[in-house]
Amino acid sequence: MTGAGAALRTKLELAIPLVHGAAARLWQAPHPHESFRRYLAAMHTVVRASVPLMETAVQRCATLSSDPLGPPLRDYLRRHIREERGHDAWVRADLEALAAGASAVVDGIPPPSVAAMVGAQYYWILHHHPVCVLGYIAVLEGYPPAPSLAGYIAERTGCPDTALRTLRAHATLDVQHGAAVYRLLDTLELSPARQAEVGLSALHTVRSAARVLTEIRGLSSRKGRPADGHC
């Protein structure tokens, strides 16, 4: 891998331990079942935004008439929309498998940390340049759950295997999808300024993702207290 993809990997390797540390603290914390339920609920709020986010970026590409990044970015996003469509339903099904009625939690207002992470992408797509979304995708798909995480959670929570289907699927799918986005970055002719914009989007995503995981851990530790109003 050479080019913008390789450069982004270098930046992220310095940052991604923040997410890994937050994940380790989450999965080692007390109340693992509650942590997993809240994790799935938060993931639903992230995943249900993936296709709409990319559709928004595709629409913005159509306005970039003289920008050579527009066509290859649009083509990649259109392909990826097809690959990602319906995954929010997978997460909802996993929540139901965890406990009947558990998926109702996703009807609550999404956590502020998720709004900050995903919302930044909408802002950059709409008010700056849609290429920024590649930084977001590069983090979420470039550093997916470890293949062994599902087994670790099953051991800690005793949850049924049917509640782990999305986690298991993404441990595989996101490796392939992550490779695709880095390949795209390596082939796009990104100016140094555009590379820095994708990098900033990615680093912001890292910081926000760690906050999402930390927030879940904090809420899970309050198990037994009255409902907090969001998932």
- Interface residue list for other proteins (CB under 8 A): 6-7, 10-11, 14-25, 27-28, 43, 46-47, 50, 84, 137, 139-141, 143-146, 148-149, 151-152, 166-167, 170-171, 174, 177, 192-193, 195-196, 199-200, 203-204, 206-207, 209-210, 212-213
Name the residue nearer to other proteins (CB basis): 193 or 227. 193
Minimum distance of other proteins from residue 143's CB (angstroms): 5
Name the residue nearer to other proteins (CB basis): 115 or 200. 200
Quote the Cα angle for 117-93-102, to 5°: 80
Location of structure tokens 């992470």: 117
Minimum distance of other proteins from residue 148's CB (angstroms): 4
Name the residue nearer to other proteins (CB basis): 65 or 181. 181
Minimum distance of other proteins from residue 166's CB (angstroms): 8
Minimum distance of other proteins from residue 99's CB (angstroms): 21
Name the residue nearer to other proteins (CB basis): 53 or 69. 53
Name the residue nearer to other proteins (CB basis): 7 or 125. 7
Minimum distance of other proteins from residue 167's CB (angstroms): 8
Name the residue nearer to other proteins (CB basis): 61 or 139. 139
DSSP labels, the chain? --THHHHHHHHHHHHTHHHHHHHHHHHHSS-HHHHHHHHHHHHHHHHTTHHHHHHHHHHHHTT-TT-TTHHHHHHHHHHHHHHHTTHHHHHHHHHHHHSTTGGGGGGSBPPHHHHHHHHHHHHHHHHT-GGGHHHHHHHHHHSPPPTTHHHHHHHHH---GGGGHHHHHHHHHHHHHHHHHHHHHHHS---HHHHHHHHHHHHHHHHHHHHHHHHHHHHHTTTTSPP-SB-
Rounded CA-CA distance 84/47 in Å is 9
Minimum distance of other proteins from residue 171's CB (angstroms): 8
